Structure 1
Amino acid sequence: MASGGEPDYGLDERKAGYVRVRVEIPDLKAKGRNFMNKIIGGRRDEASNAKVECNFEERSFILNVAGEKDLNGKSWTMERPMLPFNIDPYSSYCETEKGFVNIFLKKECNDDDWSTFIRKGDLSAN
């Protein structure tokens, strides 16, 4: 994947009230959780070889991944400026795991039907 390109991704609704965007970031390594987070079940939101930032607005999100260490010089950006429905930006979040960033978009209204967009594999409202 070229630096600066949009990564591959998949969509699902496996977590109630959320749309998950599963973004592939080759060779991404999740940072281990500290002792306290293991006990209380905290999120794994940092990577050990990249800086991961995800910003949410009511109708959009942007993910930026800037490689460090073995990923130095590589970067990925995924931006959706107009989602099909509103999300709750304060309850939306991202987690890292080996090779992936999982973005959880909290639906503002559980009655909104995202299934058409998920089947198409595209979250653009346009």
Structure 2
Amino acid sequence: MKQTMTNEPSLHLDLQLRTDGAFAGMYLPKPAANGDVHLIWKLKGTGKSERIKTIASCTKAQPVFIICNANGSNCTVITENGDELGKLNKTDAKLYHQYVEKFQYHIYIKSIKHELEKPRVKILVIVHERPEPLRT
């Protein structure tokens, strides 16, 4: 099967930046053999009472979603029901807005650690950089 990539100049520049392990001045891990980039982000603001209740009903490997304000500076992680789990820190929000959004991606809960005061939640972001083959 033949794979094609876009020739849009802005994406071409981004891909050039990506080849040396950096994007917009931020370090990215080396892509896996299949071209996927795995990012693990710790959520902040998980100690609020409504979020604690939501987190208590979540499980590892559960898909979640990210919603952001217009400029991408405030990003919230939510469940499929729209309940808030926490927020991304400024660096992760910038990386999401400038890099992750440009590619196909999936987001899952990587781990939940229940602590005395507040739970700690990490998410796994899998960015698919190589275009998937078209299915016939």
* TM-score, length of structure 2 as denominator length: 0.35
Higher strand share: 1
Between Structure 1 and Structure 2, the one with more helix by share is 2
